Amino acid sequence: MTVLSVNVNKIAVLRNSRGGREPCVGTAAMVAMAAGCAGITVHPRPDLRHIRPEDVFELARLTRSRAEFNIEGNPFAPPHGPYPGLLALVEAARPEQVTLVPDGDAQLTSDHGFDLRRDSGRLRPLVAELKACGARVSLFMDAGAEALELAAEIGADRIELYTGPFAEAFAAGDASLALARCANTAAAARALGLGVNAGHDLSQANLAAFLRGVAGVDEVSIGHALISEAIYGGLRETVSAYLKILAAN
Angle between helices 53-63 and 25-35 (to 10 degrees): 30
Kindly compute the dihedral angle of the four CA atoms of residues 118, 109, 214, 37, in this order, to the nearest 10 degrees. Answer: 120
Up-side HSE of residue 5: CA atoms within 13 Å toward CB?
A: 29
Looking at 50, 160, 200, 219, which residue is catalytic? 200
* Rounded Cα distance, 80 and 142, in Å: 28
Instruction: For residues 67 and 56, give the distance between their C-alpha atoms in angstroms, rounded to a whole number.
Output: 14
Could you confirm whether 224 is annotated as catalytic?
no
DSSP strand E in the chain: where?
Answer: 3-7, 39-42, 68-73, 97-100, 136-142, 158-162, 195-199, 219-222
Distance, CA of 46 to CA of 41 (rounded, Å): 17
Residue 150, strand partner residues: none
Catalytic residue among 72, 160, 219, 229: 72
Q: Is 43 assigned a catalytic role?
A: yes
With beta carbons less than 8 A apart as the criterion, state whether 47 and 80 touch.
yes
Residues recognised as catalytic: 43, 72, 200
